[in-house]
Amino acid sequence: MKKLIPVLVVFFTICNSYAIMGQSFSGPVIRKVVIDPGHGGHDPGALSPDRKLREKDINLSVARYLGQEISKKYPEIEVIYTRTRDVAVDLDRRGTLASEQHADLFISIHVNSAKKNTSVSVGPETWVFGGDRSKRKDDSYDVVLKENEVIKFEDNYKAKYEGFDPDNPQSMIVFNFQKDAIMRQSRVLGSCIQQSLRQGPLHGIEKDRGMKEGGFVVLAYCSMPAILVELGFINSSADRKVLATENGRKGIAKHLFLGFEKYMETYARNGRQQVSANAEEQTSGKRYRVQIMASVTKLADSEPALSSFPGIKYILCPDQIYKYKYTLGDFDNRDQAQKYCNELRSGPFPDAFVIAVEDDRLVPVN
């Protein structure tokens, strides 16, 4: 365990940099997106039963199509790829590249494969960074170990990853650090992507494989909301028919984009322009807002929760212990506020509720 401490320190440092980056938002919140086609070069990734179809080729093809869709709809967003050709890129480099580029989102694209001794599954699934899942009874953790095992292709990986063993689930504990704001946004993005993929050309609609958490090394090194998408199963004949064709890959990329677009719309409703969390702004008459959190002291502007949702404002209630009530939205109609609240509750803020404000003071909702 002693050897693992430096990696944890690195990850703390990376996550702290996200809070600093959050202070300088101007214009659209999402300015740069890094798309990561998994595997490459001497690492082919998963292979079809006849070994002719390679995951690395599918990943790169879908990544390019997704990038084209984003650039077409959002020309102001810069799309960056971790690789644009068949080359190997170290796992840690993929995440740190996104951090160095001050990217706002990271999307890693992969293709799944099932164990030989299990029935072949079908359909896509989406992952966000999470803790140790070694005690799970399903096959979810096998996916994590499979994707992390690629570090064995890298030179001197044991020294580089400070003792991380891709075959040992206990090594995942070192990466079990969650920065709340980043994790919340990762889940929102993952949920939007997964819901859209279920409507796409791949199978699995009847039994949604869903969004999951795992200790993926490539996500651990990201300092922004990040997801890893497993498009489908290369050893499933049904999924392989889609994955093997350009039209199939375009269809997958289109639904990845539709999920991204949904995320952008959700983010836009929370304020895509920099908005100061200022309690001194005056509004006339009774207004309705959605409270998402409360604090004993005023949060710093660099707090990730504030920088991730630039539309947040606070109400000061000096007679209460939790004096600072942080809110999103501003409505003159309670029903509209409740509708917005329901959206937030189903996404990043499950405990959100509607409050009423008049002259910057809390008043009864009814």
Structure confidence at residue 95 (pLDDT): 85
The span from the CA of 189 to the CA of 75, in Å, is 20
> Quick one: 250 and 319 in the same domain?
no
Q: Is residue 274 part of a domain?
A: no
Find the CATH number of the domain harbouring 335: 3.30.70.1070
Q: How far is CA 194 from the centre of its chain?
A: 11
Q: Is residue 150 in some structural domain?
A: yes
Q: Greater confidence, 23 or 322?
A: 322
| pLDDT tens digits, 96-142 | 888 888 888 999 999 999 876 555 678 899 999 875 443 444 444 45
Mean pLDDT confidence for 246-263: 96
Q: What pLDDT is stored for residue 60 in this prediction?
A: 98
- Residue 277 resides in a domain: no
Indicate whether 307 and 176 sit together in one domain.
Answer: no
Q: Is 49 in a helix, a strand, or coil?
A: coil
Residue 360 is predicted with a pLDDT of 81
Question: Do 325 and 248 fall within a single domain?
Answer: no
Judgement on whether residues 244 and 107 belong to the same structural domain of the protein: yes
Compute the mean pLDDT over every residue in the chain, rounded to the nearest whole number. 76
Better-predicted residue by pLDDT, 262 or 8: 262
Domains held by the chain: number: 2
The residue-averaged pLDDT of 317-333 equals 84
Residue 276 in any domain: the answer is no
Would the pLDDT of 164 be above 80? no
Taking only the tens place, the pLDDT of each residue in 24-39 is 333 336 889 999 999 9
Confidence of residue 283 (pLDDT cuts 50, 70, 90): very low
Q: Decide which of 269, 295, 323 is a domain's last residue.
A: 269
Q: Identify how many contiguous H helices and E strands the chain contains and give both numbers.
A: 11, 11
pTM: 0.61
If asked whether residues 168 and 307 sit together in one domain, one would say no
Q: Which amino acid is it at 230?
A: E
CATH of the domain at 41: 3.40.630.40
**Does the residue 278 lie in any domain?**
no
**What length is written for the chain?**
366
Closest of 88, 111, 93, 110 to residue 42, by C-alpha: 88
Expressed as residue numbers, the domain containing 241 is 2-269
Q: For the residues 206-217, what does the mean pLDDT come to? A: 79
Do 48 and 164 belong together in one domain? yes
Whether residue 84 sits in one domain with residue 229:
yes
Whether residue 299 is predicted with pLDDT greater than 90 in this model: the reply is no
Mean pLDDT computed over 216-232: 87
Mark whether 154 and 26 lie in a shared domain: yes
Residues 12 and 109 both lie in one domain: yes
Whether 265 and 173 map to the same domain: the answer is yes
Please say which residue of 213, 235, 269 terminates a domain.
269
Residues 264 and 310 occupy one common structural domain: no
Cα 310 from Cα 145, distance rounded (Å):
36
Span 188-211, pLDDT tens digits: 899 999 999 999 998 655 567 888
Which residue has better confidence, 361 or 58?
A: 58
Residue 282 lies in a domain: no
pLDDT above 70: residue 350: yes
